[in-house]
């Protein structure tokens, strides 16, 4: 069996030959229509760029199909064989050869090249655009192919559902663990939250000392449960501060005091007022 990687350079040569033949047909047609040569080369330059981009996309898709084909051999018993792939790849070259044989005896070089180019174009169009899609469709209509495809799609659906359920279970476990952690933290952090609430109400004289104590509390919270624990402690302290001061407007200095502790970062100034 011929290795699929060996078909890549052959397909590249076939595609290059196909582009050359199409370009020759285009230039010859424009010249016969009375277009000046400088206009022909200008148009062919832009056309060559477009053809190059399209062919590059096609080659990328083909190379991916060669290296990692999505076709199942049971569903496509003919098009997955090495013989068919060789026939598919060398179709432009076969068309050129057929054009050469058909133009034997022609003395005009331009007519000979035109015949070779038309043979290449016609054969490539027939194989790549008509024969290959029709063959693939007929393969999928076979009873064994249809049965295998239904089973494959059903198995793929079951796997997707299993993956989705596993993700949902994992999410539920994470949420349950976080809720359990918060419940445990509330019991341990309640005295520290009360201390933080008192520090938020400190006047200017004791502000520096309040900041040092708040940093120590934040470090302990980080060691206990990371950023989530620090956020929970801050929320508890803010709620207690609001309760103790009857929802009076005060400044939340905790983000400033804790800036740089672990993953804690000071948010924008707009988020500091409550």
Of the pLDDT bands very low, low, confident and very high (cuts 50, 70, 90), residue 167 is very high
pLDDT at 168: 92
- Between residues 5 and 130, the one the model is more confident about: 130
Lowest mean pLDDT among 56-65, 132-141, 204-213: 56-65
Given a cut of 80, whether residue 236 has pLDDT beyond it is yes
Contact 261, 222 (CB under 8 A): yes
Q: Tell me what the mean pLDDT of segment 193-211 comes to.
A: 82
pLDDT band at 274 (very low <50, low <70, confident <90, very high): very low
d(CA 156, CA 153): 5
Average predicted confidence (pLDDT) for the chain: 78
Q: Domain coordinates of the chain in residue numbers?
A: 4-141, 177-272
**Pure H helices in 68-142:** 82-89, 91-102, 109-125, 132-140
CA distances from 149 to 70, 77, 145 (A): 12, 13, 6
Q: Angle 57-7-51 (CA atoms, 0-180°, nearest 5)?
A: 25
Can you give the pTM of this predicted structure? 0.52
């Amino acid at each position: 069996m011929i290795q699929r990687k060996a078909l890549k350079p052959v397909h590249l040569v076939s595609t290059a030959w196909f582009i050359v033949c199409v370009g020759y047909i285009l230039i010859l047609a424009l010249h016969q229509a009375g277009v000046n040569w400088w206009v022909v080369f200008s148009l062919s330059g832009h056309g060559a760029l477009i053809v190059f981009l399209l062919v590059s996309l096609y080659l990328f898709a083909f190379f991916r199909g060669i290296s990692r084909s999505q076709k199942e051999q049971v569903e496509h018993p003919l098009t997955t064989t090495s013989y068919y792939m060789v026939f598919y790849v060398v179709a432009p070259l076969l068309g050129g050869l057929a054009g050469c044989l058909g133009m034997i005896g022609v003395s005009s070089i331009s007519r000979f090249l035109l015949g070779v180019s038309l043979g290449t174009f016609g054969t490539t169009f027939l194989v790549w655009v008509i024969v290959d899609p029709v063959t693939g469709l007929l393969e999928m209509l076979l009873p064994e192919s249809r049965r295998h495809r239904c089973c494959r799609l059903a198995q793929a659906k079951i796997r997707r559902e299993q993956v989705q359920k596993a993700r949902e279970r994992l999410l539920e476990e994470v949420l349950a663990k976080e809720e359990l952690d918060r419940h445990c933290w509330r019991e341990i952090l309640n005295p520290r939250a009360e201390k933080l609430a008192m520090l938020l109400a400190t006047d200017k004289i004791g502000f520096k000392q309040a900041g040092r104590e708040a940093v120590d509390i934040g470090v302990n919270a980080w060691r206990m449960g990371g950023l989530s624990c620090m956020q929970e402690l801050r929320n508890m302290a803010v709620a207690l501060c609001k309760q103790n001061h009857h929802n009076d407007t005060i400044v939340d200095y905790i983000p400033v005091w804790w800036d740089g502790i672990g993953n804690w970062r000071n948010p924008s100034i707009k988020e500091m007022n409550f």
